[in-house]
Chains A and B, each alone.
Chain A
């Protein structure tokens, strides 16, 4: 069984050598590169078909091949989501699609429909097959069933808690992947068709319109024989309406328990999120996993990590089902989002060590005099005030206001390409 193995060295310092995989979302080739560069051991992406985010910029075959080559340099794996519940008409082209994934070097697929599982085993047998959370796997007998069906890994239902994961690990020898961070279905995944009914978009084929994030109004309806039903409001005028919206998942504090439980892959959700989100979340969890495994007996959560996660969060977070069934504090009534407290404003292209001048691509408005923060896998976060800014031709400018504009200015510390610059966000 793949348990976290420990090594005892001469000074009796315990070290965990078998780290879980840190799995990140990548909605585009740029996000894939960022995720891997910032420390993800694997990324999951969507192709042109058979996936559940029909609105994401999904990958072409050529982009996948480029992603595979890039990831290979870091020893990272790429998984492709093919987790629709197919209708008859979706069967066309499936074999060719899976053969192509195998050909470009994809490591595995994430899948819910037995049609796709069995087709993959037949036509692309070297691909790993991972069972999607769309199957809402919630008990170890069901895990055992899928193990017997030849799956390499299962992604658990979001409703499974730590105790249940431990029992699954004890009873079945299979790789387990679980969500640690991000937005999630409030329903059992795969068991919600609100979108089909409300907007004629098929939620289980990538059309989910997130009706669960909308407001509704709760009434009691009394029926007496032969009379029109009588409705009573169950809220007052100034009450928040009924909502199903859950807070986003955040299991940063639970990482040690997940590592100790031998969970094989820790998954971050969010293929639609920005590169700044991916970079921030991946780098924080990278640090948590590495710090815990390096010295589990003296591990403490660094408050900076939690602050860092808040810089890209657009909704409040909670641990969901990890310890208990969530109560009302894990739900969101009234306000459904918050603004992140930092904006991503620039991506480092180059740094000249002789002149200490950084070359940046502008990603959001900033100006001379702003206090900005840099972060990235090679550096410790630092803040500084921007002095003179130059444009590409060397002309002095006061403000960087054009998207993707190339600008330069001096820095006190060294930075590296792909490092990011963010600025505190002020909200009214």
Chain B
């Protein structure tokens, strides 16, 4: 049995070293032009630097190319893909088949991870994209534990599961915030707002608050709670999920470092002996709650929730 990878999303180059030191074994980075909903912006130099730092420490670097592309973006894909291949990134993360087509043609040796956020919902599709060239499927956040376990059992590709942080609920190409401000005749800086200046939607009926922002890829709305699975990892360990992801969107560096080291501890304890993890998991959860921002309640996402349709 091998330890799952611990994948985190740094916000800038300087965070890479600290997060790897805290126990991350892989990082996902990228730029808004190609990737969606990133914790921070990494231009080509940043990616190269992140790669040097991570590789020196034995960690992997994946680059997000998971945007939905329109025709106008297609001409710039080959050059970016060739650059990523040349510097030796460990994989690129894609959702749009255009990226797959471009990789086949321009850098067939590049590894691909399939991640559409919402549509990786069964083992057949995971394997389908495997046959098309991807080596990993990033599962939809809306799956329950039973589905995840069954997918992993039947998957011929690696399986990545998000275990911590917020997840995306909605993406529109429309500029919904900008439109609302124009409609009101107000002038408000919508895009490129600082990390401490988030916009949120209040939903009084469900007493929930949803982070929302707008960028080159449109309008994004995020989950009202942060999922936290630190004390519920047994089944994921047992079935051998290949990668645990901690999402770093709208989180500061010190929080990310602490969360990373807590999950590191959880993984290491389990692989020392499952009983050690079982004995410690409540404490790990208590530790995590202590550093959790008050406006982001923790829950277990869809792992133990039934959805109907």
Contacts and interface: CB of A to CB of B under 8 A. Distances in A.
B286 interface: no
Interface in A47-99: 54, 85-91
Contacts of B271: none
A242 B160 CA distance: 35
Interface in B197-243: 197-206, 208-210, 212, 218-219, 221, 223-224
Interface in A136-183: 136, 138-142, 144-146, 157, 159-160, 164, 167-168
A223 to B, nearest CB: 4
Interface in A109-142: 112-115, 118, 134, 136, 138-142
Given A138-B69, A186-B174, A219-B199, A193 B169 contact: yes
B125 interface: yes
Contacts of A134: 119
A188 B172 contact: yes
A242 B129 CA distance: 38
A168 B69 CA distance: 13
A8 B303 CA distance: 64
A426 interface: no
B196 interface: yes
| Residue in B73, B123, B176, B295 whose Cβ sees the most chain A Cβ within 10 Å | B176
Given A207-B307, A328-B179, A328-B180, A194 B169 contact: yes
B170 A326 contact: no
A164 B101 CA distance: 18
A218 B201 contact: yes
A398 interface: no
A307 interface: no
A139 to B, nearest CB: 5
A239 interface: yes
Interface residues of B, number: 78
Contact of B199 (A136, A198, A221): A221
Interface residues of A, number: 77
Interface in B31-83: 68-71, 73-74
B171 to A, nearest CB: 5
A201 B182 contact: no
Contacts of A231: 200
A244 B171 CA distance: 11
Interface string B272-290: 0000000000000000000
Given A244-B176, A327-B182, A333-B180, A217 B202 contact: yes
B306 interface: yes
B121 interface: yes
Interface in B289-309: 293-295, 302, 305-309
A3 interface: no
Contacts of A113: 119, 121-122, 125
| Residue in B117, B129, B202 whose Cβ sees the most chain A Cβ within 10 Å | B202
B182 A216 contact: no
Interface string A315-338: 000000100011110110100000
Given A114-B125, A139-B98, A228-B294, A220 B198 contact: yes
A239 B147 CA distance: 44
Contact of A114 (B124, B210, B224): B124
Interface in A217-246: 217-224, 228-229, 231, 234-235, 239-240, 242-244, 246
Contacts of B147: 87-89
Nearest to B221: A194
A270 interface: no
Given A115-B125, A223-B198, A142 B173 contact: no
A239 to B, nearest CB: 6
A401 interface: no
Contacts of A138: 68-71, 96
Given A112-B119, A114-B128, A218-B201, 4 more contacts: A141-B102, A196-B142, A326-B179, A331-B179
Interface of A: 54, 85-91, 112-115, 118, 134, 136, 138-142, 144-146, 157, 159-160, 164, 167-168, 186-188, 190-194, 196-198, 200-202, 204-207, 212, 214, 216-224, 228-229, 231, 234-235, 239-240, 242-244, 246, 321, 325-328, 330-331, 333
Interface of B: 68-71, 73-74, 96-98, 100-102, 116-119, 121-125, 128-129, 140-143, 147, 150-151, 168-177, 179-184, 186, 188, 195-206, 208-210, 212, 218-219, 221, 223-224, 293-295, 302, 305-309
